Amino acid sequence: MTAGHLPPVTGFGRRAPRGPVVRPAASAEVPRELGYRMPAEYERQARLWMAWPGDMTRRWADSAIVASARELALAARRFEPVRIAVAPAYRGEAATLLGPGFEYFEAPVDDIWIRDSGPSFLTRDDGVLGATTWNFNGWGDKLDGYQADKALAPLVAAAAGACAFAAPIITEGGALHVDGQGTVVVTESALLNLNRNPGLSRTEIEAGLNGWLGTETVIWIPGERWDSITDGHIDGLMTFVRPGAALFEVSDDPAHPRYHLLREQARALELATDARGRRIEVGRLRAPRELPSSSSDFCGIYVNCLILNDAVLIPAFGDRRADAAALATFQDAFRDRHVVPLRIDAICAGGGGIHCVTQQEPSPAPRAV
């Protein structure tokens, strides 16, 4: 979940979680030492995972949320298999609305944000599938409930037949982007926040990321103080498009409250060196000026997109000039894929986008391009 244009909050790292933090014991085995890595999103995928709207979703959303989830699932199914994690009470609804051609996994599901509540899938050269579970705690214990989603990642990993590894840190899938070649990009405001990892140093968090993602280099982007739910997930700022290259979303409106901050963050990525010793090529993606909602929670972010085997699904917001420019930018960046714009306003109204409600499962032993 990536909140869009939110009012400023207290500086990151200053908000302790509610009550004592019980950190789940990590697996005794470190995935990287066993040869696992997390593939980049532009590598081949076996299937896509989504979570069907559960009881928690229906508390904050109107009926349009189901229609948006349906449209997204149908669009993704054109390009690869889609498996739906669904609460038993809503299995019939999902099957009726989606029709044939989908896989289902029945499990307790609170909400649609499977990028954060689900596992990060790993693979290794012999084709064995792995999965890291990040001890999801509801974005720093900000929201009540989410007990089912806090337990979802190991269930999804088991359903996929993956060997699961409990990480020694707390974070979410939307808080990280990997290039598949040893680099992970994160924000300081999410990973260093006291509401997730109190008492852990930057070095200890880096060790947790590298060990449980199979990476070698962590690139830190300055904090995002405007996002009061996720504390500034990286998937609301950028996405890798190929090794050594990324798209980063900025605003061309000097009145935008994050105009200067976004440029500072993009520049930080440009100045970084990845695990292969490359300076990252950063293309600018222009944020929309007009959104279909004035709510501060609305996620008006193009870069919160979904890369599939032969397509990229991107949000559209009804800002004709900005939507067309975003489409052209993505088509230039992904010349070997179809770029499909989707109106998913009901999902965006909850503070997240296409990336937030999906999770890719890699093909066996995929290789970075």
Phi-psi region of 216 (alpha: psi -120 to 50; beta: other; left: phi over 0): alpha
Angstrom distance (rounded) from CA 233 to CA 138: 13
> If you average pLDDT over residues 36-61, what whole number do you get?
97
Number of structural domains in the chain:
1
User: Would 225 be classed as within a structural domain?
Assistant: yes
- Evaluated on CA atoms 225, 205, 115, 304, the torsion sign reads positive
User: Which of 18-32, 98-112, 220-234, 311-325 shows the lowest per-residue confidence on average (mean pLDDT)?
Assistant: 18-32
Locate 345 and state its tokens: 């306003």
pLDDT class of 368 with cuts at 50, 70, 90? low
Q: Which tens digit of pLDDT belongs to each residue from 296-321?
A: 789 999 999 999 999 999 999 999 99
Domain that holds residue 144: 33-362
Q: Residue 255: which CATH number?
A: 3.75.10.10
User: Would 346 be classed as within a structural domain?
Assistant: yes
The residues assigned a catalytic role are 356
User: Would 17 be classed as within a structural domain?
Assistant: no
pLDDT > 70? residue 242: yes
Closest CA to 262 of 302, 290, 218: 302
User: Would 222 be classed as within a structural domain?
Assistant: yes
Q: In this predicted model, which residue has the larger pLDDT, 25 or 236?
A: 236
User: Would 260 be classed as within a structural domain?
Assistant: yes
User: Would 352 be classed as within a structural domain?
Assistant: yes
Model pTM score: 0.92
Q: Which tens digit of pLDDT belongs to each residue from 113-140?
A: 999 999 999 999 999 999 999 999 999 9
Instruction: Compute φ and ψ for 219, nearest 5 degrees.
Output: -100, 125
DSSP string of 28-78, one letter each residue: SS-GGGGT-BPPPTTS-EEEEEEE---HHHHHHS-THHHHHHHHHHHHHHT
pLDDT number for residue 1: 61
Closest CA to 67 of 293, 324, 345, 354: 345
User: Would 26 be classed as within a structural domain?
Assistant: no
pLDDT number for residue 256: 82
> If you average pLDDT over residues 21-29, what whole number do you get?
50
User: Would 18 be classed as within a structural domain?
Assistant: no
Percent of the chain residues topping a pLDDT of 70? 90
> If you average pLDDT over residues 244-255, what whole number do you get?
93
Return the H-helix or E-strand segment holding 341: strand 338-342
pLDDT number for residue 369: 56
> If you average pLDDT over residues 181-195, what whole number do you get?
95
Angstrom distance (rounded) from CA 143 to CA 230: 11
**Taking a C-beta distance cutoff of 8 angstroms, is the pair 75, 341 a contact?**
no
| No. of helices (H) and no. of strands (E), the chain | 12, 16
